[in-house]
A and B are shown apart, each in its own frame.
Chain A
C-alpha cells in the first residue's frame, strides 16, 4: 500500500497538477517583459569584484574572500614587482653611462652589494665587486669604441667608478686574508683573481685604443688632452687591478697554507705562473714600446738636424725645435735604459719565482711575484711618461699602438705649409704601400 501510494504520488507531476503549456509560455513572456522593464539597459562593465563572485561559483564564498582573494592580490603584486624588476634590470644590464637606464643598472648593483653586506656574505660581496669592476671595464671599452662626442668624459667617469670597485675588491681581499674563520674559500679568491685579470686585460686594450685615437685626433688638442688624461687614469686603475690580482694570489696561497683545499696546489702554482708570465710580458712590452718611441724620436731628431743645417729661414723656431727634440730624445734614451733594466730585473725575479715554485716554496714565489709586479708597474710608468712626453712633438702613438711591428716607420719633417716645421710619422706595412699619413699628422705648437 505504502509503495503504491508513493508511486501514485510520483505520478502526480505528470498529470493533474501540471501547469498548462499555454500558461507557461505566456507567463514566461510576461515575466521577461516585466523584469526587463525593471533593469533597463545594462552595460556590462568589467568589475574585479565579479571575478571573485565568479570564483565563488566553484568554491565556498568564505574561502574565496578570506583566502583566495588576499593570496591572489599578493601574488599579482609580487609578480608585477619582480617582473618589472627583472625586465627593467635586464634592459639596464646592457646600458652604458648616459643611457637613461644606466642609473637603474647602478642602483641594482648597489642594492645587490647592500644586500650582501646586510646578510654578511663577504664571499658574495667580494665577488660582486670584482664582477662590477669587470662590467665597468667593459663599459669603458664600449664607450671608447662608440662615436659619442662626450665619450672621454664618460670614460673617465666609468674609470673612476672602476677605481672605486677595484679599491673595494682590494679591501675585501685584505679582510679575507686576515679573516681566519674560513668563511671564504680559496676558490672564491680564484674567481676574483680571474675577474681582476680580465679587468687588467680589458684596460690594456682600452689603453691601446686610446693611444690610437689620440693619434688620429691630434688636430684637436683638447681631445688629445682628454685622451691623455684618460690614458693616465686607465693606467692608474690598471695598476690597482694588477695589485688586486697579485693580492688575490697571495690570499689564495695564505688560504692554501692554512689548509684550505678548495683549490689544489697545482692551481695555485698555475695562477702564480700565469701572473709571473704576464708580468714578464708587460715589462717586455713596455721596453719594446719605449724602444719604438726612441726610434721615432731619433729619426725625427735626424730630420730636424738636417732641416736646420739646410735651411736658414725660421732659424729660431727650428733651433727651438732642435733643442726640444734633443731633450725628448735624451729622456727617451734614459727610459729605454730603465725599461731594459726592468726587463732584466723581471726576468731574474721570474726565474727566482719559478725556482721557488719548483721547490714548493709558495711564500717565496709570492714574494718574487710581488717584486715582478712592482718592477713592471715602474716600467709601465716610465713608458707612460715617455709617450706623453714624446707626443708633445712627435706623433708616436700610432707607432706604439701598431701591434704589427713589421711596418716601416718613416719620419718626415716639412716646412712647406707653415712657418713652423711639421713632423709626420708614416707607417707603411712592409708588404704594401698604403700611406697612413693622414692619420698620423700633427702640428707642432
Chain B
C-alpha cells in the first residue's frame, strides 16, 4: 500500500510539476523489472538495455503529453509493461530478417556477484533461461511476471490484457510446458 501511495505521489509530482527527479525515483523502482521483462524476450543484454531505456523515455513522453488532462493511471507498472511489449514488437519488426531465437551463449557475468560462485548453479540458471526462451511469448510473460517479478495475478491480468482466470490457466499451462522442455533436455 505504501508503495502504491509513493507511486501515486510521484506521478502527481510529474503531472503537476513535470519533476524529472520524481521520474528518476520511479525509474529506480521499475527499471530492473522492465529490464528482466525485456530480457526474456530479446536475445541479449545489449538489446534489453536499449529497449528498457527506450521504454522509460516513451513513458515519460506519454506522461508529459497527457499531463494537462491527467489521465488516471491505475498502475504505472502496467503502463511500463504495455510500452515494453510494444517496444519489443517494434524491435522484432525492425529486425524481421534476422532469426533471433538463439540465445547468446555467453551469458554475461556482469559483476562479481556471489551468485556466480557456484558453477553448478550457473549452469542450472542458464538452462532455465534457455527453456523460458523456447516458450511462446504468452507463456514467457506470465511466468516471468509471476515468478521473477512476483506480481499479483490481478497485475499480470492488467498488463497482459487478459482476465485473471485466463492468466491462471495460461500460467498453469506455461509451467507445465516449461517442465516438459526441461524434462526433454
Within 8 A of B (CB), among A97-113: none
- In the complex, what distance in Å separates the CA atom of A57 from the CA atom of B18? 17
Q: Does B49 interact with chain A (Cβ within 8 Å)?
A: yes
Would B16 and A11 count as touching, CB distance under 8 A? no
Within 8 A of A (CB), among B92-112: 107-108, 110-111
Stretch at the interface among B75-83, B142-150, B161-169: B142-150
Q: Given A27-B49, A42-B17, A57-B12, are A6 and B147 neighbors across the interface (CB < 8 Å)?
A: yes
Q: Does A311 interact with chain B (Cβ within 8 Å)?
A: no
Would A32 and B24 count as touching, CB distance under 8 A? yes
- In the complex, what distance in Å separates the CA atom of A31 from the CA atom of B59? 11
Q: Which residues of A contact B12 (CB under 8 A)?
A: 50, 53-54, 57
Q: Does A410 interact with chain B (Cβ within 8 Å)?
A: no
Would A21 and B27 count as touching, CB distance under 8 A? no
Taking each of B20, B23, B27, B179, which has the highest tally of chain A beta carbons within 10 Å of its own beta carbon? B20
- Quote the shortest CB–CB distance from B125 to chain A (angstroms): 5
- In the complex, what distance in Å separates the CA atom of A24 from the CA atom of B24? 11
Within 8 A of A (CB), among B9-28: 9, 12, 15-20, 23-24, 27-28
Would B45 and A27 count as touching, CB distance under 8 A? no
- Quote the shortest CB–CB distance from A7 to chain B (angstroms): 9
Total interface residues on B, using CB and 8 Å?
A: 55
Q: Does B53 interact with chain A (Cβ within 8 Å)?
A: yes
Would B150 and A10 count as touching, CB distance under 8 A? yes
- In the complex, what distance in Å separates the CA atom of A30 from the CA atom of B20? 12
0/1 interface trace, chain A 2-45, chain B, CB 8 Å (1 if under): 10011011111111111111011001101110111011001010
Would B39 and A17 count as touching, CB distance under 8 A? yes
- In the complex, what distance in Å separates the CA atom of A38 from the CA atom of B60? 10
Would A17 and B40 count as touching, CB distance under 8 A? yes
Would B61 and A5 count as touching, CB distance under 8 A? no
Q: Does A47 interact with chain B (Cβ within 8 Å)?
A: yes
Q: Which residues of A contact B (CB under 8 A)?
A: 1-2, 5-6, 8-21, 23-24, 27-28, 30-32, 34-36, 38-39, 42, 44, 47, 50, 53-54, 56-58, 61
Q: Which 9 A-B pairs have the closest CB atoms?
A: A9-B147, A20-B110, A57-B8, A19-B35, A39-B18, A50-B16, A17-B36, A15-B115, A13-B148
- 29 residue pairs of the A-B complex, CB under 8 angstroms, read A2-B175, A2-B179, A10-B147, A10-B148, A11-B125, A12-B128, A12-B144, A12-B147, A12-B148, A13-B148, A15-B122, A16-B122, A17-B40, A18-B36, A19-B31, A19-B39, A19-B49, A20-B111, A21-B110, A23-B49, A27-B56, A31-B53, A34-B60, A35-B20, A35-B57, A50-B12, A53-B12, A54-B12, A58-B5
